[in-house]
Amino acid sequence: MDIEPASCFLAILNVDIELGISFVILAVLLLLSAMVSGSEVAFFSLGPTEKEELKTGKSKSAETTIALINDPKELLATILIANNFINVGIVILSSYVFGQIYPEDYGIPWVRTLIEVAGITFIILLIGEVIPKVYANRNPLKLSLFMSKPIYSIGRIPPISWMKLGLVRGTDFINKAAKKRSLDVSTDDLENALELTREENDTEDDHRILEGIVKFGNTDVRQIMRSRLDVTAIEENASYKELMDVILDAGFSRIPVYKENFDDVIGIVYIKDLLPHLNEAEDFNWQSLLRTPFFVPENKKIDDLLKEFQDMKMHMAVVVDEYGGASGIVTLEDVLEEIVGDITDEFDDDDLVYTKVDDSTYVFEGKTPLVDLYKVLDIDGKNFEEAKGESDSIAGFIIEQAGKILKNNEYIIFNHYKFVVESSDKRRVKMVKVIVLNDVESK
């Protein structure tokens, strides 16, 4: 018997068996890569509805899924480490299989290398990335439940658990270092960037909202508050009938209550608290329904005020000056209007804000806030803000610039705007005409 042919046959058989086993292992690794890669999209694509369904579910898989998504950093670290381990295995095994099919001493070396790199990359991307992620995007809940226990178990197997811990801590360290080195961007820089990135298809409303967000953190409460002269309030000793008359006449849902004068606000009466007592007698003790007022200083930034409104679940605050006297009130609606623009309801009267005489002439009430003037004239108001001093209304600005209370028909010119007093008395400027000047008139 010739031994050499038998030895060759066994060698070929061994190679074929090894190649076959390698193909099987490669297929399993590709399947694992697809499942792990798809789980990344599945877990992070869960919406509020799916999360609520998981919370109400009683299965172990649902509980494990909730635990995983509640710690997204560890979840992502586990998925990335596991996926990289698998992909490295795929690359090594694929190189071995390719070497058996396409030996190094066969053909042109650079062509062989190109085919090997392109082929392995295509297989990993198609089977291990694209297909599973498309499926996961369409079936996030199903795949999350299926992969929750395997991902949970993988995350607790050394060395993956050690690497995961190191990756999470390293990421936290980098984030802290990056925050320390972060650049402070001024509001002016943001406004300039907003103008540069403005596109033709952007609507005026969209642009106005973005500008409102940029300026939001630099706006003081006193710039948007309602002056005490315009606040509807009631004295604490008023009868129940007088209170109801004030409520019906004003149409507001909250009324400040003061003791002797508005500088001493002692509470806020909520109209909804009065609804169960509509048929009470005139001597009804409505003061027992007062709620504790919320006081804020004039110079508080409205972004901080919005956060406090949210935390305290309140809609109104009494604005006080440096001496503790009440300057006016500010509401949640006033704050939101700085972003989204005017919010009008059935009790708002737009005709009282201003009158447009022609394209260059407007008539305002003296108490109109400067921020409203900017909106009407469509200007940023930087020059006004720099020169206004402590004033926040048109009348206050005129008095600040003139150094006195101007009489009727007296005026000041500031930049390209002429402010003519239409009506005033010894105490305040009531009506102001604002004329937009051209370059010649303003000199």
Same domain, 57 and 170: yes
Of 192, 191, 150, residue with least CA distance to 36: 150
Tell me the C-alpha distance between 259 and 193, whole Å.
50
Task: Give the model's pLDDT for residue 9.
Answer: 45
Same domain, 210 and 158: no
Task: Give the model's pLDDT for residue 7.
Answer: 53
Same domain, 95 and 8: yes
Of 217, 231, 227, residue with least CA distance to 185: 217
Write down the H helix ranges in 313-361.
332-340
Same domain, 36 and 157: yes
How many independent structural domains does the chain possess?
4
Write down the H helix ranges in 155-229.
160-180, 187-196, 204-216, 221-224
Amino acid identity for residue 422 in this structure: E
Task: Give the model's pLDDT for residue 440.
Answer: 56
Tell me the C-alpha distance between 61 and 151, whole Å.
11
Same domain, 40 and 171: yes
Query: What's the token pair of residue 261?
Result: 């004068």
How many angstroms from the chain centroid is the CA of residue 125?
Answer: 35
Per-residue pLDDT of the chain (443 residues; tens, 9 = 90+): 444 555 554 444 555 677 778 788 888 888 988 898 888 888 888 888 888 888 887 788 888 888 888 888 888 888 888 888 888 888 888 888 777 777 766 667 777 778 778 888 888 888 888 898 899 888 888 888 898 898 888 888 888 888 888 887 877 777 666 555 545 555 555 556 555 556 555 556 665 666 666 666 678 888 888 888 888 899 999 988 899 988 888 888 899 999 988 889 999 999 999 988 888 888 889 989 999 999 999 888 888 888 888 888 888 999 998 888 888 999 988 888 877 766 655 555 544 467 888 888 999 988 888 888 888 888 878 888 888 887 888 988 998 888 888 888 898 998 889 999 988 888 888 889 999 887 655 55
Same domain, 44 and 142: yes
443 within some domain: no
- Give the domain CATH number at 369: 3.30.465.10
Same domain, 118 and 250: no
pTM (global) more than 0.85 = no
Q: For residues 417 and 434, is the Cβ–Cβ distance under 8 A? A: yes
- Give the domain CATH number at 230: 3.10.580.10
Q: For residues 106 and 189, is the Cβ–Cβ distance under 8 A? A: no
Last residue of a domain, one of 284, 309, 340: 340
Same domain, 140 and 21: yes
Domain that holds residue 9: 3-180
State the residue for tokens 């919010």.
Answer: 343
Query: What's the token pair of residue 227?
Result: 């002056």
Q: Residue 348's CB: how many other CB atoms inside 10 A?
A: 12
Of 48, 36, 29, residue with least CA distance to 94: 29
Same domain, 40 and 138: yes
Task: Give the model's pLDDT for residue 185.
Answer: 54
Q: Exposed (0-12), middle (13-18) or buried (19+): which is 208, by Cβ within 10 Å? A: middle
Task: Give the model's pLDDT for residue 4.
Answer: 55
For the four alpha carbons of 42, 43, 48 and 53, in that order, the dihedral sign comes to: positive
